[in-house]
Amino acid sequence: MSEPLWTASEIAQAVGGEVIGGDFAVSGLSIDSRSVEAGDLFIALAGARDGHEFIPQAMGQGAAGALFSQPQDGPAILVPDTFKALEALGVAARLRAPQARRGAVTGSVGKTSVTQAVRAGLALAGRAHSSVKSYNNHIGVPLTLARMPRDTDRAVFEIGMNHADEITPLSHMVRPHAALITTVGPVHVENFPDGEIGVARAKAEIFDGLEPGGLAILNADNVWFDTLSQAARTAGAKVVTFGTGEGADARLLGFNPGPGQAVVRAQLHGATLDFPILQTGFHWGLNSMAVLLMLQALDVTLEDSLMALGAFEPLAGRGAEREVPLAGGAFTLIDESYNANPISMAAAISSLGARKTTGRRIVALTDMLELGGEAEAFHRALAEPLEAAKVDLVFCAGPLMKSLWDALPSTRRGGYADSAAQIGPQVAQAVEPGDVVMVKGSNGSRAGVVAAALGELGRAQGGQG
């Protein structure tokens, strides 16, 4: 029988709590009663609804016990504050696994995909642990730490932010041996009075918790590289770089995309490499360089690193491709609907332009959010990369995308609607066999609705062709 993740007495000791109803053991942790699995500890956090309301539901789904702050029947651990207890449990998990090499990833674009690609490499090298989904905030990071088994060899944590001073406490919790910033751009910029440099300084907070002698992995192509490298060195970090220019420790030399994959040419510390990946977006050239450096920092061999990159599939809503059957053939759907900002939007459009296709290149775009006063200008500016990529038809949804729609030549206009739900049918009506259709937008503007509608075409028409 495998060792439990925690016993109730261990938890109580770590968080200063009291065991109610006798000692018990848990195999996992959950903060959502809907996703509780047998053997979990259910942590009753305060939110829009008080988690204590859902303890009966969690126990009914097989939770082994609860962590709560309002006296009730056990099995449970009673604490004064469940959120502070979660933070303390995360720190205790780190302290009980001193052998674990830890990496942390942040950035304006690509942090979830890069984190999961790193996780794939760690899993080939030994007992690995990582964030799930986008568990990167003040709840997700301590929860991920607290879920780390005591025998973990290597772990990687995604750390995000919307405002200044959010990353520093999370970095101190994780205490990474290596910290990676994928890139910095105008994301969440509406929350920073000093604009993009404020975003850069907030991302640099990831170095605040670095272990002594830790490594900072930075994008040498990014406009804020000097700001970030100065912050890293001030924190005592050694800096290694990835980029396209001479002098980068991991240098991207070429990216050759094809259907469902690409071949990357690179130099890693001067040695030339060619390797395949299951990604087609140009941004995955630099992402791959970042992944290689992080895996190296966490003592993963180059052989395992390249094997992991070669098998890592696009995450849902982050470049996943599928062939959708129509009467007379099929079209290719590229689902980039999970999120969008000016950097990732331009990269995705450029990647689409590089695709060889017998049909048309079509995009369906929904609003990019949290861009502040420059939001309309950022949307309007997409007309240029769309022209450079020779995109045939552009469908726009949302009040901000109206700025792009107005900037497009009539020959490129596919359709405009106020919402994602309204634009979906327009795209579905226009698409033909052989087309390559990319859907991209912010999660909050519901780009996923458009991708789902196009995916459904295969069910509706798949039998006709």
Q: Looking at the domain assignment, is residue 88 inside a domain? A: no
The residues with which 250 forms a beta bridge, in sequence order, are 242, 268
Residues 60 and 103 in one domain: no
Residues 294 and 324 in one domain: no
Structural domain for 75, as ranges: 6-82
Q: Which residues of the chain have pLDDT under 50?
A: 462-465
DSSP bridge pairs for 265? 254, 274
**Contact present, 26 and 65 (Cβ < 8 Å):** yes
Q: Dump pLDDT digits (tens) for 211-269.
A: 999 999 999 999 999 999 999 999 999 999 999 999 999 999 999 988 888 999 999 99
**Domain-located, residue 133:** yes
- CB neighbour list of residue 35: distance below 8 Å, 6 or more residues apart: none
> Is-above-0.85 flag for pTM?
no
Residue 198 is assigned to a structural domain of this protein: yes
AA identity, residue 173: M
Q: How many domains does the chain have?
A: 3
148 and 286 in a single domain? The answer is: yes
* Together in a domain, 139 and 251: yes
Residue 91 within any structural domain of the chain: no
Tokens of 138: 């003040």
The last residue of one of the domains, among 311, 337, 357, is: 311
375 and 452 assigned to the same domain: yes
Are 163 and 119 within one domain?
yes
* Residue 133: per-residue pLDDT: 76
The verdict on residue 87 lying in a domain is no
Q: What is the pLDDT of residue 464?
A: 34
Distances (CA, A) of 172 to 161, 211, 293: 15, 9, 22
Can you give the pLDDT at residue 188? 66
168 and 72 part of one domain: no
Residues 341 and 201 in one domain: no
Spatial separation of the C-alpha atoms in residues 20 and 22, rounded to whole Å: 6
CB of 287 closer than 8 Å to CB of 312: no
Q: Which two tokens stand for residue 148?
A: 């780390």
Q: Name the domain boundary from 274, 289, 311.
A: 311
The CATH number of residue 129's host domain is 3.40.1190.10
* 66 and 112 part of one domain: no
- For residue 92, tell me if it sits in a domain: no
Which of 311, 344, 370 is a domain's end point? 311
Same domain, 37 and 126: no
Same domain, 370 and 304: no
pLDDT value of residue 462: 43
Are residues 338 and 425 located together in one domain of the fold?
Answer: yes
Say how far apart CA 312 and CA 452 lie, in whole Å: 23
pLDDT at position 461 is: 52
Residue 206 lies in a domain: yes
CATH number at residue 54: 3.40.1390.10
Where residue 361 sits, what CATH number does that domain have?
A: 3.90.190.20
pLDDT at 463: 38
Tell me what pLDDT residue 317 has: 80
